Every structure is written in structure tokens, then in C-alpha cells.
Amino acid sequence: MVDCDEDGVTDADEIANGTDPNDACSYNVADVTVAVTSTVDCDGDGVIDADEIADGTIQTMLVVIT
Ligand SMILES: [Ca+2]
Ligand SMILES: [Ca+2]
């Protein structure tokens, strides 16, 4: 299982989803199947995504940077 951007979604799943396997802010939260080891805070609220996923506080299924 390869997860190049460490967002918890394997590259194969990202390709299947159409998200970017090299962008830790591009993934489908529903498809997080491995440990999230990235330390990105994609929505900029001060809580890293790994913690938001663990806490269930990520609201959107697909993280989109605006
Ligand atoms: Ca990704
Ligand atoms: Ca955040």
C-alpha cells in the first residue's frame, strides 16, 4: 500500500477517486484507510488534518482548497 502524500488514502484509491496522490490536501475523507502521517492543515483552522480525521471534525467529504 503506497500513500505518497501521507493523507491516509492509498495512491490506488486516489487515482480511482480522481484526487491527487501527490497532494496531501486532495483526498476523499471516506477513503482514508491507512494511518494519516501528513501534518498538513488543509482548511487552515489550526488543527492538522490527521487530528481532524481522528476527531471526525472534517465536514467535507472532499477537501478543496479555496
Ligand atoms: Ca492525496
Ligand atoms: Ca484543519
CA–centroid distance, residue 33 to ligand 1 (Å): 12
What is the number of the ligand closest to the CA of 53?
2
Residue 56: the pLDDT is 86
Distance (Å, rounded) from C-alpha 48 to C-alpha 25?
A: 11
Who surrounds ion ligand 1 at CB < 5 A? 5, 7, 23, 26-27
- Residue 54's domain comprises 1-66
CA–centroid distance, residue 53 to ligand 2 (Å): 9
Q: Count of domains in the chain? A: 1
Q: What is the mean pLDDT of each run of 10 residues along the chain (66 residues)?
A: 96 96 94 95 90 81 51
28 forms bridges with which residues in the sheet?
62
Which residue do the cell numbers 493523507 mark? 7
Residue 58: the pLDDT is 74
